[in-house]
Amino acid sequence: MTGLHLLIPEYLLLAGAIAALFIERVSGREGAGAALGAVVALAAAIAAVVIGAQGAIAGGMLALDAVAVTVRVAIAALTAVYLLWLVGRGMGPERSREAVAFVLFAALGSMLMASARDLIVLFISLELATMPAYVLMGYRRNDERNLEGALKYFLLSMTTSLILLYGLSFLFGIAGSTSLVAIAAAPPAGLLGTFASVFVFIGLFAKMSAAPFHFWAPDAYAGAPAGSVAFVSTVPKLAGTAVMVNLATALVPHAPVLPAVLALAAVTSMLLGNLAAFPQTDIRRLMAYSGVAHTGYVLLALSSATPAGYAAAVFYTIAYVVPSMAITLIAAEEGTALDDLAGLVVRRPAVAWGSVVLLLSLVGVPPMAGMLGKLFAFTAAVSAGRLALVIVAVVMSVVSAGYYFRILRPIFFASRSDAPVLASSRSAAVAFSLLVAATLALGIAASPLLSYLGVRFF
């Protein structure tokens, strides 16, 4: 058991999650748990940067390569920003201290997922990441609609976990080992390898809400508090992309059809997500379909099955979840219907102009992060010979501008007299500014991150 000190960020999150449950009672201050959680998550992010890439931990059950480190830092940092927002806004009528603990547990599971190199560790950390998400999605426990959405999420997520586990059990059967390294090195098992790999990836597609396994997402998100959706729909996706990268690396030799399966899921997700987002009037539903579409672009990058494509998928996921979290947080503050945003430019001009940056990044307009993410994803896919898919992706990006601008229209061209008066909160404002700044910074100064991921595109 060597290298366990390299898991210090994970230990910090674990200790923080338990302490967050008790600190409010001890200190007697509302919001102390969220503040503690934000500090702990920030410390975890810094520790993860300092530790960096280290290779195998605990006999190869975990490994810290460039992808794992990038995702690990991104998860911890985003969790810190989210908890900073929670300090100011809380979970609406419910108290937030349990939410802080659940968020930290989910972040812990997500970070372990990103570095897992063993099927059992992978599955247990996946469950650790999703179990708290069930509670967060049903956080308004006296609201029937909320519970309905949470139940839907729970049942479907459990089913997909089982599908994933079924596939993983066959992988163990092929290699006689739960180690991903051993599975990658095992002799190809023909049809069984394809069967197992497709099962594993269908489970992951459902977790990542890729079409045609996305149908739970809009209902579950629309039932849940927007504050929960902002976390659940973003941070675990980072881990999901890292897992897909690790599994694709190990499984493509066993299942030559896998890149084609990824490409198929990519094209259905891009088409369905972007088109179905149009008629939505609830921001949470709209962002759910937008998430389906963005998962499509991630899968497009993955389907190239090259290191450049894998790095592009990781970068794209980061570039997409940052603005997506910020938009959902606006919905948590202002109301979840599109009309609730009416006149935001008059009430809160900084937030309104910030949301312009975020939405342009989601569309893919330079110089924001989303544009670079799309560029790298498309470059990787073209060099893997998927030109037709890239054409679909480009057309769909243009189409997506339509529904993202539907969010902007009420903000700038409508007015609302019955708007709720929102207490100003410095920590929520800082959190929002950080997300907008990150969206810009990832677009303007992406090269250090990309060279760290070991990719040179130009």
Partner 1 sequence: MQGAADHIVLAAFVIIGILFVPLTLTASRLLAPSKPDERKLDTYECGSEPIGPPWVQFRIGYYVYALLFVVFDIETVFLYPWAVAFDHLGLFILVEMVIFIAILAAGLAYAWKEGALRWR
> What residue ranges bind partner 1 (CB under 8 A)?
1, 14, 18, 21-22, 25
Whether the Cβ atoms of residue 91 and residue 219 lie closer than 8 Å to each other: no
Nearest C-alpha neighbor of 449 from the set 298, 362, 326, 319: 319
If you compute the radius of gyration of the chain from its CA atoms, what whole number of angstroms results? 21
Q: Is 58 left (phi over 0), alpha (psi -120 to 50) or beta?
A: left
By beta-carbon proximity to partner 1, the closer residue of 18 and 387 is 18
Q: Is the distance from CB of 122 to CB of 197 less than 8 angstroms?
A: no
Choose between 40 and 314: whose C-beta lies nearer to partner 1.
Answer: 40
Q: For the chain, report the end-to-end CA distance as a whole number of angstroms.
A: 41
Burial of 279 (0-12, 13-18, 19+ CB in 10 A): exposed
Task: Give 355-380 as a DSSP string.
Answer: HHHHHHHHHT-TTSHHHHHHHHHHHH
Please give the Cα distance from 375 to 381 (Å, whole number): 10
Distance (Å) of CA 339 to CA 289, 352, 355, 433: 18, 14, 15, 23
Residue 4 has which token pair? 């366990």
| Closest CB to partner 1 among residues 72, 97 | 97
Residue 94 φ then ψ, to 5°: -85, 155
Give the count of beta carbons closer than 10 Å to the beta carbon of residue 173: 11
| Torsion, CA 212, CA 216, CA 218, CA 221, rounded to 10 | -140
Report cis status (omega within 30 of 0) of the bond before 188.
no
> Residue 178 is encoded by which pair of tokens?
């739960």
Q: Which is nearer to partner 1, 25 or 456 (CB)?
A: 25
Buried-state track 380-400, b at ≥16 Cβ within 10 A, e below 16: bbeebebeebbebbeebbebb
What's the CA gap between 158 and 136, in Å, rounded?
Answer: 16
| Residue 433 and residue 439 in contact, taking contact as beta carbons nearer than 8 Å | no
CB nearer to partner 1: pick between 18 and 395:
18
If we measure between CA atoms, which residue out of 358, 244, 227, 360 comes closest to residue 310? 244
SS (H, E, C) 149-200: HHHHHHHHHHHHHHHHHHHHHHHHHHHCCCEHHHHHHCCCCCHHHHHHHHHH
Nearer to partner 1, 22 or 215 (CB): 22
